[in-house]
Amino acid sequence: MIDPALYDQARERISASGFTPEIQTKITLLLCTAKNGNLMFHSGVQWMQNLNVVQQFILSQYSRELEAVTLLSRTTQWSKDPALALEGSRIVAPLMLAWGQIMMPPGPMMNPQAAYRGISLGHAQLARIRLLPVIPENADPLNPFVVALQRIEQENGRMLQTQIRLLKNIGTEIPIEEREALVEQDQELVDGVFSEFLAWLAAL
């Protein structure tokens, strides 16, 4: 579980300074990394054989992740500070590494373990990266960036249903305990990244 104090500190920081270009850039760097990883995975598995109805959900999630990335990129007031990009890359590196491992040849389309891991990591990202609690009460509800964050988070909850159904019902030979362990491992990975990100968000 992510320490609630981290959310509070990040929110206090935003409450004091507003959604500055620096804050917006930090948030977008994190979200876009997570969503680009999931996008890459979905582009790799959406034409897998025998997906049947699941294919619709995977195609749909691919499109909605793409929309989220576009929406964020359009609404973000970017900071030009290259140090932010460097530090942001360091913080999200474990996510990029994990997605890289999943996509490593032969890729998830040919590797059931990697396919399951991709679903599990996607689940962890959609479930655990939550930014609504850092939006302060004094934030302008019509600020395009705030509106984008709210829409993305609501959409994350809907998209998560695909991962939930797949994790529960996918035909796999991986034993249930091993699957649960995989899911917990990915949650810990995402929690670690997100905790560090929240601390970074709160920093001056």
Summarize as ranges the residues that interact with another protein (CB under 8 A): 1-2, 4, 7, 123, 127-128, 130, 132-133, 137, 153-154, 157-158, 160-161, 164, 167-168, 176-177, 179-181, 183-184, 187
In whole angstroms, the minimum distance from the beta carbon of 151 to another protein comes to 11
Q: Rounded to whole angstroms, how far apart are CA atoms 6 and 200?
A: 10
In whole angstroms, the minimum distance from the beta carbon of 2 to another protein comes to 7
CA angle, residues 166, 112, 90, in degrees to nearest 5? 85
**Of 100, 89, 126, the residue nearest 44 (C-alpha):** 100
Q: How many CB atoms lie within 10 A of CB 168?
A: 9
Nearer to another protein, 173 or 177 (CB): 177
In whole angstroms, the minimum distance from the beta carbon of 5 to another protein comes to 10
Nearer to another protein, 5 or 93 (CB): 5
Nearer to another protein, 41 or 194 (CB): 194
In whole angstroms, the minimum distance from the beta carbon of 173 to another protein comes to 15
In whole angstroms, the minimum distance from the beta carbon of 62 to another protein comes to 20
Nearer to another protein, 6 or 29 (CB): 6
Q: Which two tokens stand for residue 134?
A: 């850092």
Alpha carbons within 13 A on the beta-carbon side of 11:
15
Nearer to another protein, 72 or 198 (CB): 198
| DSSP output for 47-82 | T-TT-THHHHHHHHHHHHHHHHHHHHHHH------H
Cα dihedral sign, 99-30-198-139 = negative
